[in-house]
Every structure is written in C-alpha cells, then in structure tokens.
Copies of this chain bind each other. A is one copy, B any other.
Amino acid sequence: MKKRVSLKDIAQEAGVSTALVSYVLTNKEEKARVGREMANKIRKIARKLNYQPNYLARSLKSGRTDTIGLIVADISNPFFGQIARIVEDEAKRHNITVIFGSSDENAEKSADLINVLLNRQVDGLIVIPSEGSEQQILQLSERHFPFVLMDRPFPSIAASSISINNFGASYNAVEHLLRTGRKRIGMIAYQTSLHHIAERRRGFEVALANAGLKTEKRLKLARYSHLREDIRKAIDQLTGGKHPADALFFATNSLAIEGLRYISELGIRVPEQLAVVSFDESEAFDLFHAPVTFIRQPIREMGKAAVQLLLSQIADSERPPEDIRIDAELVVRRSSAAN
C-alpha cells in the first residue's frame, strides 16, 4: 500500500519546517510569518503529492471537533433564521463553530442531513425537527449521541428539549381576545401531527370551552404544501356567513403573513372589523397598518439554553435528558385593540 503523504514529506520538499506547512494548509498562514509566494509553493507541493488532510486523526486526538450541527425546519422562514443566528452567537462565545442544514419540513431531507452532519463528526446536534422524523431522533437517542430538540419536542421520546409552553401561550392569547370583547374567534393552524401545533390548537379549544363558547367550524387547518390556497379558503369561511368571525388567531408567523396579505386585499379593517393575533415574531407585523399583537417566543433565551444544554451533554454523555419549558409573552398591539 502506498504510504500516506504527511506534512513532513511536504516540508522536506519545500525546505521549510513541518509547523510552517501545517499553518499554511490549515489556512492560518497569518500566524506564521510566511509570504504568499512560499505559501503557494507549499500548497502546490501538497497538491502535487496529493496530500489529504487527516481530519479524522486530528479530531480523534482531542476527542472533539468543537463543531455542532443545527438542523432547522425551514431556513427560508425568518423565525428559524433568527434562531440560527442566536445559536451561532452563543456557540461562538464558547469557541464552537456551527454548521447547519434545513430539512425544509421534509423527513427524508432531515435523515440525509443528520447523516451528513454525523459523518462530518459534529460533537452534537440541535434539531428543530420536521414532521415524521421521530425515528431519526429516536436513533440519535439510542446511540447516546448528544442532541437537543428545540421549539418542537417529541413527547414520546426521552430527549433533552427546549420549547415554550405552547398550550399556555395559546390559552392566554384567546383569553386576551375574549377580554377585548371578541366572541367569534377563529383559528388557523397547520395540518400536522407535530406536538407543538397540537398544543396550540388545544389551548384555543380549551380557552373557548371554558368561556362557554363552541369551537366547531372555528378551527381551520392549512396544508404546508398548499398554504396560500388553504388560508384564503379558511379566511373566506371564517369571515363569511351569518356570524362572521370578529377575531383571527394564527398558529405561526408564516400563516399570519399569508393571511394578512389576503385580509389587506379584501379591505377588511383591523382591528375594527377583525382583531388579529399571531404566534411568533415578524418584521412584517411591525409594518402592518395595525401593528400585530403576537406571542413572543423568547428565542434568545431558548437558543442560549439549547447550546448550553448540548455542551453539558457533550461533556457528559450519561447525563439524563432535561426538558426545559419556557413561558412565552403576549405582546399586545393595535391589531387586537378593544373596539
């Protein structure tokens, strides 16, 4: 078998020290005092000899790669973009680099990404799981691979997770609408088996039931794959008929934004004709003619806690899972003002 090309081989051919070669090949040449010409010569030799960096060996030495993986459910949703940024900022404080992927709400893509990131030897994973990815998460758990679920817990799996109290946040939002005098409150949620959305729906139903109001036909579900069309239909149904809704509660920011586009098109006045409340944050909520009342998820706190919990798990793989539930805050603005 051909001997593996080492840094020493390159150093000998270039007539420099092994340390210098190492600096250049790990792109840290500013640390050594090496001119661009020499750096290029070293790289040229490395290419000629077909040098392959033995990253695996490097990481086996320390046992760590100081890299964690983050899998979000859909990177085109600014909510997850914000979370990614916060996780990165927090990881950076611990000198950890984050590489991430987006499952785009697709379980198959999620499996690919978990594989790719594990093969890349990340020390641990933070996952905002997509629907149908329970098996993948279960496998991580059975392998004792360090990971933390964020935003969306799987109650059937004993795993560390960080999420808000979705039931409570939803219940509070509906109570707020009731207090402002609304009686015909509709909700638009995703059609999904994911637990956090089920909890948001349950909060809506229990709050209405406790107020002696019926929920049938007031809860509409939209498919992720047919968002625009399903939301328009739901709003038509909820705001039409003899008893049109006087308030709409959106289970996520993406549902709300699509809904608000249609509400603007229809010329419905918010909050006079229709109060609006939504989960999550969005820049668009601030610029809507009636700034939108929203449930603020403490994403900074969640992101920090996720990184810290993951790092404790990486340090001690036998650590029992921890389930962190944080209360969310209702930020009341003009879209749900009393008439």
Residues in chain A within 8 A of chain B (CB atoms): 26-27, 30, 36, 40, 43, 47, 52-56, 60, 67, 69, 74-78, 80-82, 84-85, 88-89, 92, 97-102, 104, 109, 111-121, 135-136, 139, 142-144, 257, 260-261, 264, 282-289
**Is the pair B85, A104 in contact by a Cβ cutoff of 8 Å?**
yes
Given contacts A55-B56, A60-B52, contact A99 B120 (CB under 8 A): yes
* Contacting residues, chain B, for A284 (C-beta < 8 A): 282-284, 286-287
Q: How far is the CB of A203 from chain B (nearest CB, A)?
A: 26
**Is the pair A27, B114 in contact by a Cβ cutoff of 8 Å?**
yes
**Is the pair B100, A99 in contact by a Cβ cutoff of 8 Å?**
yes
Q: How far is the CB of A97 from chain B (nearest CB, A)?
A: 5
* Contacting residues, chain B, for A115 (C-beta < 8 A): 26-27
Given contacts A55-B56, A284-B284, contact A99 B97 (CB under 8 A): no
Residue from A54, A113, A119, A288 with most neighbouring chain B CB atoms (10 Å):
A119
Q: How far is the CB of A6 from chain B (nearest CB, A)?
A: 15
* Contacting residues, chain B, for A54 (C-beta < 8 A): 56
* Contacting residues, chain B, for A261 (C-beta < 8 A): 286-287
**Is the pair A43, B142 in contact by a Cβ cutoff of 8 Å?**
yes
Q: How far is the CB of A77 from chain B (nearest CB, A)?
A: 7
**Is the pair A75, B81 in contact by a Cβ cutoff of 8 Å?**
yes
**Is the pair A98, B97 in contact by a Cβ cutoff of 8 Å?**
no
Given contacts A100-B101, A284-B287, contact A111 B27 (CB under 8 A): yes
- In the complex, residue of chain B having the shortest beta-carbon distance to the beta carbon of A43: B143
* Contacting residues, chain B, for A111 (C-beta < 8 A): 27
**Is the pair A118, B40 in contact by a Cβ cutoff of 8 Å?**
no
**Is the pair A116, B67 in contact by a Cβ cutoff of 8 Å?**
yes
Q: Given the complex of chains A and B, what is the CA–CA distance between A101 and B122 in angstroms?
A: 14
Known: A67-B116, A85-B102, A89-B104. 18 other contacts (CB 8 A): A26-B115, A27-B136, A52-B60, A55-B119, A55-B121, A74-B85, A75-B84, A76-B82, A76-B84, A78-B283, A84-B102, A88-B104, A99-B117, A99-B120, A282-B284, A285-B287, A287-B288, A288-B288
Q: Residue A27 contacts which of B85, B139, B282 (CB distance < 8 angstroms)?
A: B139
Q: Given the complex of chains A and B, what is the CA–CA distance between A240 and B136 in angstroms?
A: 59
* Contacting residues, chain B, for A135 (C-beta < 8 A): 30
**Is the pair A77, B81 in contact by a Cβ cutoff of 8 Å?**
yes
- In the complex, residue of chain B having the shortest beta-carbon distance to the beta carbon of A100: B100
Q: Given the complex of chains A and B, what is the CA–CA distance between A144 and B116 in angstroms?
A: 24
Given contacts A77-B81, A88-B75, A282-B284, contact A116 B99 (CB under 8 A): yes
Given contacts A53-B119, A77-B81, A142-B43, contact A113 B100 (CB under 8 A): no
